[in-house]
Structure 1
């Protein structure tokens, strides 16, 4: 009987179908996919003794039926990770002639919910692997990662067999030693009673109230008290209440509490955090505050059930242990962007000044904090803030113009009335508006920089935002 898989091979790839039939001749032309669960064994002792050298010999040194060259499937040697990650969800055996057929099911590495792949391997009892097949795209090559995962699973169970405990194997009766004192008799003649009469526990009589009062009098005479004295007369009426403090009003009393900070405190925080992520105060002062970079996420999350990840990000800001490449790119090139911005501004702005800045907290609403990349000032425009973005994709994709950047899915810009502007629904626009209002400055210059692109837009406060 042929399986549905063999019929599919016959229709789609006749050459692979011929090879499939050649492989099954080792096991009397039995198609492994036609074997039923009742014909298969789950006993560990039936597994072939496959060792790592057998896996290496098959995946690397076996000659391919199609190319006549060694398979050299070195990548499949890494399929131990498939087994280690639990992708092998079924493994059973069927012994035919001198061969052991291994049948298994292996999950997809990228599609966990997809139907598992069906894989079979033919090996002899000593561990020499003859051939294999899998229903994955590369399964006809006989050495895919799923085949490797099955082989490593067998190797794992074989290695465990060397040091198995009594609970890892089927139950084995312990042969009792011969007894010369206890006769062998039928069950009906056995005495199932206890060999001796167990001693019955003595019944303890309950004490009387007078005995309890007498004991408490002795305790009181020694200058001590007992919890029983609070419920037993005449002691209870003589003891004073220990809790004379009124309970506080519940927290609803403080629901309209207005919390503010002074201007001096605001300045002190800003000065102490100018090194930003390089100082501990930066993380301490941001904890629990809505910062500009999270402003859009806060505006969009649900009030009744806000996103847990957002709450954690606001309440527990932490330093990144391993800085991702996009962030590292931005940090590394920030000074390059600042320098180009400075040259651009000094052409038309008198007495132009640019300074570092730390965390700025709102004095009226101290739950808000912002940290622009720089604070800028000139005689003509007065004070403003600077926000710089150095998108990693602009350099990675070799983007050389704003027009190219506008076409990218990740762009934060759009063209309106023939002019390129920051998208008013983008998180960066929320960030810029938060910086303007919390810092109480007049504007924010939004800059996008890459080695080939320099974009600047001056954004004014949006009072209807």
Structure 2
């Protein structure tokens, strides 16, 4: 939560803000204090529709679900607002514009009421950081807007998120292609049912996402023509809708009545008047007569058989949840088992970090053996079941064990914390992960076939979440459990990498990022890879298992499986080394978030204390082994290691305290530092002197990433956008000798008298040298500069030099 300004004057408020109640008005002032101006008072001419913050899906979740409410001191958990994309795809969002004020992105927009189409549009404003993090928001048109997370605010966030994804795929000269976003609908006209599109908002959102994801720069070469065609299409559709519009106050004509009435010579009966009219002269035949049984009530045995068949369906029928004995299957047996997320207490939101740590050290989440077995049984469907994420939340899983071990306790990565504390929201959804999940079941079957011929009574079965009894903050979920008469019981982990070229594992292990290595002709899992941490934690949690089969499976073009299996046994030394770090991470990093939302609550500026010599959260005196925060504006300055619980922990050169690391401008500090932003490149500055550049004949803009053609006589624009050339990155010779395709074709080597290309008599690393058939004093010599590995046709125009007497020795050496 933002703290009220103490020294700054109150900014000028709009009429809406002035009419608010005192405590709500104070909250409104707190939110706008970060920019010292009320966004609702700014004229629309000062905003730019292309100056929007880079809001991503994770920012949506963080604000609408995880953010702490000012009024309730609890998380918003506004899952309903996550469906606000229906406002976007329905065209209810208009006038989304942004402006940079005091280093923050301020966005204003208008949203139509979903249930009151004739009411004026609702005004919305957002304040975001330059990294896309939502700082605050307000809706000026609905009571729910006071809660700061209404559907109108969420719809604007969804619009900006779509704009961000589309903007990231466009070149700087293709901004006009943002017309593929849903346009604002001014009115919803009356229309025939057959002309109305009944596609659900969810389906429209999926189509929009696919269109954005499949959108490439090649599709935007003829942007202007496509947009005009799109507008013409919209115009024609509007005309069609206008012709089919039916007003309520229009009475059908006599001619219309004739088309919908029954012929006059057919008299309907009293019974037929209530339904459809049947002519009297049509007599139903014997085939048309349907025999209706007098007693059509099913017997108890038939109902029982129906329920039994429904219970065998892959998807559970919800009607069975009210019928015994099937109702018990809809209730998890583990519903009464305590979970880590229940440790949250709203009173902890007022505690500082050093006040939360003692509570974290007292937490006890021990489980009995029967409770662990019940959880494992309830989670065998894994992500498809409701209990899978519930029991995993707040516990360190085997899949993140390696990342946790290599993290810094004094400054934990926010992404790892959120994935552990809120696994149902922060899921890994990359192309490689989706490929692995899609192929996992087929890989397990291929592995089972592969092992059946080598082992006696080999069996595989699925499993759920296993929680360690001795260390209940750890859990593991193997892909399967395995047993055989010859080797005993074990578990298995399957990986289906997408980056094995032509199923050649020998070529794959040469890659530095490969998780396999070849030792004495055998492929083995690298002990330094995170997958090794994952396997060892599975063996540590499932202590009765003797081994873990690490299976790597890839398929060739003919769908033949290629399997590499590495049997890994428990490594006690590794587990003992990792265990202390995992326990410390759980106590001082995860539990503060679970108990008091320390990392997801808004950062409060602490009240200044009168004692200027005090330090740390405890406001004590300086000690011997104190640490200093790298933020020069840190309100605490220095800290005692004991107060932070990091005795003996090495700190990075740049370290931020638990308070400052939550600030939006410093929250990325835990990640690898990005390259320092520099000014416009010399190529970009030189391009500004041209009227048009590139094949698209666009006007140059400051800061564009351009590729320069090093032919000074280039007639294609001299400076090119990578997207227009179909390139993803600059070539190696971009700063030296690169030339466009047109200039390459014009640059050729000298020709002989017969019109054939002359062959170079000498090749050095820097140039080709061409001599005429007879070398004479005063004769020409052609030299074409080239770099290493180049060719004369790719570089500057040939330069003719006069061959003089002083070059005779040089000539003899070249010919010699």
Structure showing greater Rg:
1
When normalised by structure 2's length, the TM-score is 0.26
Per the normalisation by structure 1, the TM-score is 0.45
